[in-house]
C-alpha cells in the first residue's frame, strides 16, 4: 500500500516547478536579464567540458532557449514527481534545474537596497529549502534498501557464507581424519584378534594332537594288554589241552572211566606233579 503522506507531499512539492516551468516556456523574455550572466557562465563551462572545437558550442544558444530548456526540465520533473512514476529521478532533475534558477533569479548579495536584498534573500532561502526537500526525495527509497546497502549486504553475506564454508570444510577434514584414525585402530584391533585367534587355533590344534597321541598310547596300551591277555588265554588253553591230554593218557593207562570228581582229582594231581 502506498504511503498517503508521499502521495500528498510529492504533488505539493512539484506544483511550484510545474507552474514556474510553464511560465518559463511561455514567457522567457522577462527572465533573460537576470539569467544571462549565469547562462553564459554555464555555457562556457559546458563548452570546456563536453564540446570539441569542430562541434557547435553551448555559447551559441540564446539565453531564452536555455531558460525554456530549464523550464521544460522543471515541467517534466514536476509531472514525474507528482505522479510518482519516477519520483527519485524526477526529484534529481528538479534539483539540478533549481540551482541555476536560484543563482540567476535571487542574487541577494548584489542588491544594494535593503528591502530588495531582504526579499531576494527570502526567495533564495526558500529555494534552498526546496532543494533540501528534493534531495530527500531523490534518496527516498520508500523503505527499500539502497543499491550500496544491497551490495554491502551481499558482500557481507557472501563473506559469511565463505567463512561458514571454510569452517565446514575444516570440520569435514577433521571428521575424515578422525574416521581414518578410527579405521586404523579397528584394523589394528582386528589384526590383534586374528593373531590371537591363530594362537588359539594353534593351541587347540596342539591340544588335539596331544589328545590324539594320548588316545593312541592308550589304544596301544589296550592293544598290548589285549595281546597279553590273548597270549595268556592261549597259554592257558594250551595248558588246559595238555592237562586234558595228560588226563586222557592216564585214563588210558589205568583204563578207568572216572566220574567228574575223580577227573578233577586226577587233574590236580597231575598239575602238582608238573
What backbone phi and psi angles, to 5 degrees, belong to 218? -65, -45
Q: Tens of pLDDT along 229-272?
A: 877 777 776 666 666 666 566 655 555 555 556 666 766 776 66
Rounded to an integer, the average pLDDT of 25-39 is: 80
Grid coordinates in use for 44?
A: 562556457
Between residues 64 and 71, the one the model is more confident about: 71
Would you place residue 224 in the very low, low, confident or very high pLDDT band (cuts 50, 70, 90)?
A: confident
Residue 262 confidence (pLDDT): 64
Q: What Rg do the C-alpha atoms of the chain give, in angstroms?
A: 67
Would you place residue 54 in the very low, low, confident or very high pLDDT band (cuts 50, 70, 90)?
A: very low
Do residues 137 and 87 touch, judged by C-beta distance below 8 A? yes
Whether 45 has a pLDDT exceeding 70, the answer reads no
d(CA 107, CA 127): 12
d(CA 23, CA 11): 18
Whether the pTM exceeds 0.95: the reply is no
Give me the count of residues in the chain.
Answer: 274
Residue 244 confidence (pLDDT): 64
d(CA 74, CA 86): 14
Q: Tens of pLDDT along 74-110?
A: 999 999 999 988 899 999 999 998 888 888 888 888 8
d(CA 268, CA 258): 14
Amino acid at each position: 500500500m502506498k504511503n498517503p503522506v508521499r502521495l500528498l507531499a510529492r504533488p505539493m512539492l512539484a506544483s511550484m516547478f510545474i507552474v514556474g516551468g510553464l511560465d518559463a516556456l511561455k514567457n522567457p523574455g522577462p527572465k533573460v536579464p537576470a539569467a544571462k550572466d549565469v547562462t553564459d557562465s554555464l555555457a562556457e563551462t559546458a563548452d570546456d567540458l563536453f564540446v570539441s572545437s569542430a562541434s557547435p558550442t553551448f555559447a551559441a544558444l540564446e539565453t531564452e532557449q536555455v531558460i525554456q530548456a530549464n523550464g521544460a526540465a522543471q515541467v517534466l520533473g514536476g509531472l514525474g514527481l507528482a505522479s510518482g512514476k519516477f519520483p527519485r529521478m524526477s526529484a534529481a532533475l528538479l534539483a539540478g534545474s533549481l540551482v541555476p534558477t536560484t543563482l540567476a533569479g535571487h542574487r541577494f548579495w548584489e542588491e544594494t537596497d535593503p528591502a530588495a536584498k531582504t526579499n531576494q534573500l527570502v526567495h533564495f532561502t526558500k529555494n534552498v529549502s526546496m532543494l533540501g526537500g528534493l534531495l530527500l526525495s531523490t534518496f527516498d527509497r520508500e523503505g527499500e534498501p539502497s543499491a550500496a546497502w544491497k551490495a554491502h549486504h551481499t558482500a557481507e553475506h557472501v563473506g559469511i557464507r565463505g567463512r561458514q564454508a571454510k569452517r565446514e570444510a575444516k570440520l569435514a577434514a577433521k571428521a575424515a581424519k578422525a574416521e581414518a584414525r578410527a579405521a586404523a585402530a579397528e584394523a589394528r584391533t582386528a589384526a590383534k584378534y586374528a593373531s590371537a585367534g591363530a594362537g588359539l587355533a594353534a593351541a587347540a590344534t596342539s591340544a588335539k594332537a596331544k589328545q590324539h597321541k594320548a588316545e593312541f598310547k592308550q589304544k596301544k596300551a589296550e592293544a598290548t594288554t589285549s595281546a597279553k591277555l590273548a597270549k595268556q588265554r592261549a597259554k592257558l588253553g594250551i595248558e588246559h589241552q595238555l592237562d586234558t591230554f595228560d588226563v586222557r593218557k592216564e585214563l588210558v593207562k589205568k583204563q578207568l572211566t572216572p566220574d567228574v570228581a575223580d577227573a578233577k582229582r586226577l587233574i590236580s594231581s597231575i598239575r602238582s606233579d608238573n
